[in-house]
Amino acid sequence: MKKSIIKGTGMFVPPNLIKNQDLEKILDTSDEWIRQRTGIEQRYWIEQEGATGSADLGFEASKRALKKAGWEPEDLDFIIFATLSPDIFFPGSGCLLQAKLGLDSTPTLDIRQQCTGFLYGLATADAYIKTGLASKILFVGGEVHSSGLDKTTRGRDITVIFGDGAGALCIEGVDTTENAGVLASSLHTDGNLANALMTELPASRLPIRFPEGVSLSDPRYFPVMDGPAIFKKAVRMLPKVINESLEKAEMDLDQIDLIIPHQANMRINQALGQFLKVDENKIFHNIQKYGNTTAASIPIALHEAMEQGRIGKSGDVVLFAGLGAGLTWGSLIYKFL
Ligand code: UT7
């Protein structure tokens, strides 16, 4: 059976650097609060709202990943795009990205799994490869949060966290007898907790998607989050789901070279490290530079970890894990060939 092997990674963030101090000027927050509670020091937002969508950021990340893999867009036989901030209501950002890549018939699939978009996306790519449905897949996680944030004090718990960005991966089905590629994954959803983190409007379930009499500054047009509840859920569920993948792969934590968690809050990832009793430098962090870029967080972190030489040699094993809106959570173990 073919193994799903990462052939190239790429990332892109827009050039507009927003430091915590810049946010102090527009809402009631402080650099100290943001650093202490989240670990974030800065994030990048698109320059001019409305001019750049998730597919644009994804396109830049994709070009870099394709170059690393030595692939042309025409080599792709499948594209998976994960985002909670699609460029337009429909069609999906995968379609828009495909056209930007100069393609006109390569199949695309959009997935809406928010912070676990990478985990669901890579598990899906692996299934397509193992069943022979595709052999050269581009996965992209891309988000433009900044055009949809409540940039008033009312929305400060979320607005200070989210950043824009994209990460991309080229994944190839390779014939090998080595135990490599995606070794195990474990995915979950609890839709009963959808209200804990969501943007409600515009909503197709209403007779009018933009309800009359509801102003565009209504909180229902912005993401709302029960932060403490999600924090507690993450700290409880992440170790559990990590152990599920370890069990499936018949491995233990000592065999993992690097853990790349979703970058939602530095304190969540530190608590995870304490719970798992792993050395602090075995957990990768870059939330300080980019904030939470949701579906882009893990692929950006993977790209940086590989660029820094933290992971990527033959035999290295990386464990990915995350929890976010849905609620969805999961983990995935990958071994480099
Ligand atoms: O990626 C998707 C999944 N999301 C997550 O995993 C997020 C998980 N949750 C979190 O990361 C944290 O809950 C937050 C960072 C969102 C909030 O941190 P917290 O330590 O849980 O704070 P809190 O919500 O309990 O609020 C504590 C205080 C409140 O003030 P009072 O009521 O104590 O006076 C908030 O109003 O902090 C206030 N606050 C802020 N103050 C300054 C909330 N946001 C801000 C802010 N600046 N940006």
Check whether residue 156 and residue 19 sit in a common domain: yes
User: Which residues, 6+ apart, have CB-to-CB distance to 298 below 8 Å?
Assistant: 118, 119, 141, 167, 260, 261, 262, 263, 320, 322
Which residue type does 301 have?
A
What local confidence, expressed as pLDDT, does residue 49 receive?
Answer: 65
Is 292 noted as a catalytic residue in this protein? yes
**Using CA positions, which residue lies closest to atom 11 of ligand 1?**
265
Check whether residue 225 and residue 239 sit in a common domain: yes
Check whether residue 161 and residue 251 sit in a common domain: no
Check whether residue 40 and residue 162 sit in a common domain: yes
Please tell me the distance from the alpha carbon of residue 162 to that of residue 156, in angstroms, as a whole number.
Answer: 10
pTM score, whole prediction: 0.97
DSSP class of residue 193 equals G
87 CA to centre of ligand 1 in angstroms: 28
Check whether residue 125 and residue 157 sit in a common domain: yes
Number of domains present in the structure of the chain: 2
Q: Is the CB of 227 under 6 A from ligand 1?
A: yes
What local confidence, expressed as pLDDT, does residue 280 receive?
Answer: 85
188 CA to centre of ligand 1 in angstroms: 25
User: Which residues, 6+ apart, have CB-to-CB distance to 157 below 8 Å?
Assistant: 225, 227
Q: Is the CB of 115 under 6 A from ligand 1?
A: yes
What local confidence, expressed as pLDDT, does residue 48 receive?
Answer: 76
Domain residues for the domain of 280 are 181-335
Check whether residue 93 and residue 209 sit in a common domain: no
User: Could you say which of 119, 140, 175 is where a domain stops?
Assistant: 175
What local confidence, expressed as pLDDT, does residue 20 receive?
Answer: 98
User: Could you say which of 175, 203, 224 is where a domain stops?
Assistant: 175
Q: Is the CB of 238 under 6 A from ligand 1?
A: no
**DSSP per-residue letters across 75-89:** G-SEEEEE-SS-SSS
Please tell me the distance from the alpha carbon of residue 258 to that of residue 319, in angstroms, as a whole number.
Answer: 6
pLDDT, tens digit only, all 337 positions of the chain: 899 999 999 999 999 999 999 999 999 999 999 999 999 999 999 987 668 999 999 999 999 999 999 999 999 999 999 999 999 999 999 999 999 999 999 999 999 999 999 999 999 999 999 999 999 999 999 999 999 999 999 999 999 999 999 999 999 999 999 999 999 999 999 999 999 999 999 999 999 999 989 999 999 999 999 999 999 999 999 999 999 999 999 999 999 999 999 999 999 999 999 999 999 889 999 999 999 999 999 999 999 999 999 999 999 999 999 999 999 999 999 999 9
Is 115 noted as a catalytic residue in this protein? yes
Check whether residue 89 and residue 188 sit in a common domain: no
CATH code (residue 305): 3.40.47.10
Is 262 noted as a catalytic residue in this protein? yes
Catalytic-labelled residue, pool 115, 145, 265, 303: 115
Check whether residue 69 and residue 100 sit in a common domain: yes
Check whether residue 272 and residue 321 sit in a common domain: yes
DSSP-assigned beta bridge partners for residue 24: none
161 CA to centre of ligand 1 in angstroms: 10
Number of residues that this document lists for the chain: 337
User: Could you say which of 146, 175, 204 is where a domain stops?
Assistant: 175
156 CA to centre of ligand 1 in angstroms: 8
